[in-house]
Amino acid sequence: MHELSLCRSLISLLRQQAEEQHFSRVTQLWLDVGPLAAVVPDAMMFAFEAASQGTLAEGARLHIVERPGRARCRACGAETEISQWYQPCAECGAYQLQVLSGDELKIRELEVV
Partner 1 sequence: MCGICGCGQPHEHQHQHAHEHEGGHEAEAQRRLQVELDLFSRNNRHAQTNREMFARRNLLVLNLVSSPGSGKTALLVETLKQQRGELPVAVIEGDQQTHQDADRIRATGVEAVQINTGTLCHLDAHMVGHAMEQLPELQNGILYIENVGNLVCPAGFDLGEAAKVVILSVTEGDDKPLKYPGMFHAAQLMILNKIDLLPHVDFDVEACIEYARRINPDIQVLQLSARTGEGLSAWLNWLAGQRRDQLDARIDQLESELRALKAQL
Residues 37-76 that bind partner 1 (CB under 8 A): 37-38, 74
Quick one: which of 10, 51, 57, 82 contacts partner 1 (CB under 8 A)? Answer: 10
Residue 106 backbone dihedrals phi, psi, to 5 degrees? -135, 140
Contact (CB, 8 A) for 47 and 1: yes
Q: Please state, in angstroms and rounded to a whole number, the distance separating the CA atoms of residues 5 and 90.
A: 36
**89 contacts partner 1 (rule: CB under 8 A):** no
List residues bridging with 32 in a β-sheet.
65, 106
Return residues touching partner 1 (CB under 8 A): 1-2, 5-6, 9-10, 12-17, 20-21, 23, 27, 31, 36-38, 74, 84-86, 95-96, 98-99, 103-113
